[in-house]
Chain A
Amino acid sequence: MDEVVKLQLIGLTVVGLGIVILLFIRAQFARVVGFVAIVLGLFSLVALSVPQMASLPPAEEKFDIATVKTPTDLAAIGQKIFFSKGQCALCHSIGPSESARCPDLKGIGAKLSREFIFESLTQPQAYIYLDYRHEGPPKEYPARMPYINKNPIGLTKNEILSVIAFLQQMSGEPISVSPSELEVPGQAPSAPVKAGDSGPVAVAQAR
């Protein structure tokens, strides 16, 4: 039997027991217990009738460099990370959304350079913390883009590069991230992905 059904039966039994007590028992305290049982049983039944979502810890995915042959393979891994370990979909949407609290990422791979995206993920305080939409000096948002390369998300550089590849592919852009850029464990790291030399303002002009 499904666990939800089982719990619903228990809830119904508790409510039924409460009703029986109220109908047939005269002792005051017992009647109060019956009343409380009805309330608690109804509460459980209501809770069981809403969508049941558990929260599982993210699967420990191993980034297997050997399986990444083409940029498209990289983008496929990036898509998985976007919707799981990266937790990007928790805040961002791809396409218009009434409930998303953060920018719509549809077409972002075409609007922004890969360097700017990398900077936004690893140094959000450099530019995107600041609200440039209004007149006057930029103001800080009350809620902030987290550091994606630090805990609690803690994506590795390879994972970030694959997310960038996904964003570019999703936007219809050619993927500029190459599998040769991936860091192999035990080997010297490849050349770092640099943000624009002239800093965030120059990168922002790419928008």
Chain B
Amino acid sequence: MRHQGGQLQQMLRTLRGHGGWLSVWLLAAGWLALPSLGIAAEGAPAGPVEYRDIPGIGSRNIVWVIAQLHLLLAGFVLGVPIFAWVCEIVGWKSGEKRYDKLAKEFTKLLTSSYATTALFGGILLFLLIGFYPKLMNYLTDIFFPSFVFYCILFLLETATLYLYWYGWDAMQDGGKKTFHLFLGFLLNLFAFFIMIVPNSWATFQASPVVIAEGTDLARAWAATWNPTWWPVNIHRLIANVVLGGFMCGAYAGIRYLAAETSEERDHYDWMGYVGNFIGVFGMLPLPFAGYWLMREIYQYNQQMGITLMGGFLSWLFILQAMLIGVLFLGANYYFWMGITYRIPGSEMSYRKPIMAMLIILLVCLGVWMTPHSLVASLEEARKMGGTHHPLLGVFGVMSAKMTVANLMILVTFMSFIMYWRAGKQETATWAKVARAFMSGVLGVAAIVVIVLGVWGYFVPAIVRINYFSTSQVLIVLFVMLTITPLTAVLLKSAKTTTEMVWGRMPPRAGYALVLNAVMVILLMTLMGYARSSSRVHWHVYGVMRDSSQYAFSPALGYAAAFMALNTFLFCMLVAFIFWVATMGDKGKATGYGGGEKGKLPHGVPAMAGGSPPRGNEQ
């Protein structure tokens, strides 16, 4: 069968005009139900097959589900090695075995998910070859050398992962430990390349470049280095850390809820804190990477940029704002709960700052999710003087959104600093000056971010995009890079006034961790849909048109239903994998019970907040 794209699209347009999307889908299902071989036998023109289909769900939808599950799993298995390895280094440097055990626990989750990731990748490949032979032929012709490289990378990654995981206990001390850390480095190196190679295929589809004649390798390289490749690489690298962190946090949250002993509760409380910390740590620079990606898209093709942010996908970014806002609220809420429950007696002193931060976050979220054009009746539009609200319309543009995004990042960063400093008394002689300096830096930064945001309304777009927005980002980065080391140095000599207590968090803390993970997963499904739809009816934008019956992009509601389905399937899949992987853990001591309670590790700023009490270490 070649395809019946043109006829079906005409019918879709006609039926859509009669308000019947359901009838459209029934008709599509009717077409799909016809046996494809039968149609082919009825005298379709000879020639290479361009598309195949599957009755019922449709080829595009099944590829959507499998591709999304593969990408979510891949994001997890590529993000976890980063912080598992860092955690192992922290344990090695500080001599604290609990960090090594935590790193091993992260790696256990990763190893058990690895095979499933590859499995879904294989299924996806078969589906793409089967359903989209025209596209796959074209991409193979350009990228074949990178396919070979990709296969080699998988062999290297798998071998390294086996050695890293199975050799963990055997390579605990001395030179063996150094070698084990080196394996961790290699694991991350190969993982990085495993990510950026398929990124080139996907980004080439969105922002293709002219490929001159040359060797296969030269052509593949030219196609790889397209305008959106590196922005996507950086964005996904950071996002993988966020996904991995929050998923580990959610795992810990669920184990915490189901914990039966105090040792388990302590351990998973701590693991939940670390997971949330890693997720937040990655989340802070992530909007900047997203902004860079969007800028490159606009630079490459203005229409694609406008399709995304001003065209039919513009409401998608309102949904994105809502999800990110809930994620920021959830991550901050978990920090605030940590201050309240892990540092007894501190809730009164932090109540006002927490309230202030909550209000700022809610206001910023409100501004971020305000659309530019309102859904209004003719009467309402007449009263407003147009589709833009005279007051709220002001918040619907990028200047407002960049400003509030930066403010939310600053607030979240301060939640983390507050948590880090809670229960401690600085003893350094210069502590007062340092605190005044940090307050000054924070205050000035916030004011400058707001001033630049307001001023941005009155300057040409090029000034706002090139100078103001980048200045806002640099200011926030400066604040984080200044306050973090200063706090670390201050706390090195600080005395603990209130010992941190683990295992006392209420059940809603576990649910907050689950909520954060679900938000991140939903965001990935949402932005994956945005990336695919930005190509509208092109397989390769401007080069290879989609001439199948699925050349349209569905409305946001239908797409969101698929996103929710994909998220749910992924959560169930991962829950199953983690359950199988940790089946043998029940009844085993985690090694964190009894002994000295509340002793905090020293000089480990990255894991601020200490760890559960020392105990019977395995």
Contacts and interface: CB of A to CB of B under 8 A. Distances in A.
Contacts of B372: 99
Query: Secondary structure at chain B's binding surface: helix, strand, loop or mixed?
Result: helix
Interface residues of B, number: 74
Contacts of B20: 2
Contact of A4 (B9, B16, B557): B557
A31 B542 CA distance: 48
B515 interface: yes
Interface stretch (A110-118, A140-148, A169-177, A187-195): A140-148
Nearest to B557: A48
Nearest to A131: B462
Given A32-B254, A36-B514, A99-B373, A2 B546 contact: no
Contacts of B558: 3, 7
Interface of B: 6, 9-10, 12-13, 16, 19-22, 24-25, 254, 257-258, 295, 298-299, 301-303, 305-307, 310-312, 315, 318-319, 322-323, 372-373, 375, 386, 388, 393, 461-462, 465-466, 510-511, 514-515, 518, 522, 533, 536-538, 541-543, 545-546, 551-561, 563-564, 567-568, 571, 575
A152 B541 CA distance: 7
B568 A101 contact: no
Given A4-B557, A99-B310, A40 B375 contact: no
Contacts of B310: 90, 99, 101
A41 B257 contact: no
Given A4-B21, A152-B538, A54 B514 contact: no
B319 A41 contact: no
Contact of A90 (B311, B510, B518, B546): B311
A143 B298 contact: yes
Contacts of B22: 1-3, 6
Interface in A99-145: 99, 101-102, 131, 141-145
Given A54-B553, A55-B553, 8 more contacts: A3-B22, A4-B557, A35-B514, A37-B568, A46-B319, A50-B315, A51-B315, A56-B9
A98 interface: yes
Contact of A91 (B13, B303, B462): B303
Contacts of B322: 46
A43 interface: yes
Question: Nearest 8 A-B pairs (CB), nearest first?
Answer: A47-B560, A57-B537, A152-B542, A3-B21, A48-B557, A52-B555, A55-B553, A151-B542
Nearest to A58: B537
B557 A44 contact: yes
Contacts of B571: 36
Contacts of A31: 257
B329 to A, nearest CB: 13
Nearest to A147: B542
A92 B310 CA distance: 12
B258 A28 contact: yes
A57 to B, nearest CB: 3
A3 B22 CA distance: 5
Interface in A8-47: 10-11, 14, 28-29, 31-32, 35-37, 39-41, 43-44, 46-47
A44 B388 CA distance: 26
B511 A35 contact: yes
B307 A90 contact: yes
25 contacts: A2-B20, A2-B22, A3-B21, A3-B24, A28-B257, A29-B575, A32-B511, A40-B522, A46-B560, A47-B556, A50-B318, A51-B315, A53-B312, A54-B312, A54-B554, A56-B16, A57-B9, A131-B462, A141-B462, A142-B295, A143-B298, A143-B305, A152-B541, A152-B542, A153-B303
A59 B518 contact: no
A60 B462 CA distance: 36
Contact of A98 (B388, B466, B563): B388
Chain A interface extent, by class: 35 or more
B564 A44 contact: yes
Contacts of B564: 14, 40-41, 43-44
Interface string A75-96: 0000000000001001100000
Nearest to A57: B537
B557 A2 contact: no
Given A44-B557, A101-B461, A57 B552 contact: yes
Given A28-B257, A39-B515, A47-B319, A54 B303 contact: no
A28 B568 CA distance: 17
B21 A56 contact: no
Given A56-B552, A143-B298, A32 B560 contact: no
Given A43-B564, A143-B299, A55 B557 contact: no
B6 A60 contact: yes
Contacts of A14: 564
Contact of B568 (A40, A102, A143): A40
A153 B563 CA distance: 30
Contacts of A46: 319, 322, 560
A59 B13 contact: yes
A159 B537 CA distance: 20
Contacts of A43: 319, 323, 522, 560, 563-564
B298 A54 contact: no
Contact of B306 (A29, A32, A91): A91
Q: Which of B258, B303, B555 has the most CB of A within 10 A?
A: B555
